Structure 1
């Protein structure tokens, strides 16, 4: 599969800039998420770098036979309509596994959003793991991978830095990366 994905990247003119860490546990946040193409490009990149990355996707995608394929390549369904302890469930996965690399789209959708979901940040803090920022930049045809970012626990300090990185990456469709606004309680 690695050779096939390398050939695909060569044909379409894409390259990978940066590398995933050797750590056994981290969260990868992928943005901007503007097209279904993002998944295919990132899946090819995953095979090229040779690192098993699991990912969460909306449960509506896990119908037969697509669900079998998604699970086989590391996908797990998430019911986005159910609120509650999703962060705690994922933190527990990180605590109980020796190795877990998990990819998430902080926007939670391909559509424009007014604020990003913060779950990935809280997972990283509670599980004491780094965040790896990865963006498919269609303007340069690069998968850009930033070195691991260790959250400080101060979301008001860290989140603007994360947002600033992703503002340098151009998605397939133009999409504004929103400013960080603390969640109203």
Structure 2
């Protein structure tokens, strides 16, 4: 068993025993080919929670500072995370994200770029639109709803794939595509609250 599958199993056990977890829409995630999972961001646990129930490996960008923490840095690298320098366009991280998608893998993103302090959905950064436009990835909006208080209900909704062809054909900007993705996340949050 590889380290990712082992780690995912541990995370799933933790979430399923600590919270009353509900997942919706897993059938919307293609079993193969490039996938971009775009979610709201309310807690440090969001990346492992979002990926724990997905039956394929999900790579994440994680803030570069985390990789400097000795044990944590090695662990998150082993489960497919890669560093991004926040606050500036990190060309290396963007290249690596594109490579992951062009190799037919899944990339998980939190377009807001940082956790929401009040739980409300913030403005998305252009990175999500950048990846959506420069690859043929299936874009899945996701919503994490609930509280990470032990034994409370915690839900993750994997929405239906977004129609991207018209935006790609119209040469929409990265910002416009990110706004479109954020609108879809907002609709999921509203529908399932």
Please confirm whether the aligned pair reaches a TM-score higher than 0.5, indicating the same fold: yes
1:169 aligns with 2:176: no
Aligned match of 1:74: 80
Quote the offset at 1:93 in angstroms.
4.1
| Cα distance in 1 between the residues matched to 2:54 and 2:131 | 24
Aligned-pair RMSD on alpha carbons? 2.8
Change (3 A) 1:127 1:16: same
Quote the offset at 1:18 in angstroms.
0.3
Change (3 A) 1:23 1:110: same
Aligned match of 2:150: none
Aligned match of 2:34: 25
Q: Is the 8 A contact 2:38 2:181 kept in 1?
A: no
Match of 1:120 among 109, 125, 128: 128
| Cα distance in 2 between the residues matched to 1:91 and 1:108 | 17
TM-score normalised by the chain length of structure 1: 0.73
| Cα distance in 1 between the residues matched to 2:154 and 2:38 | 18
Q: How does 1:28-67 map to 2 (within 5 A)?
A: 28-31=37-40, 33-42=41-50, 46-63=51-68, 64-67=70-73
Which structure's residues are more often helix, by fraction?
2
Quote the offset at 1:80 in angstroms.
2.0
Q: Which structure 1 segments of 5+ residues have no match? A: 171-185
| Cα distance in 1 between the residues matched to 2:145 and 2:34 | 25
Q: Is the 8 A contact 1:26 1:124 kept in 2?
A: no
1:145 aligns with 2:158: yes
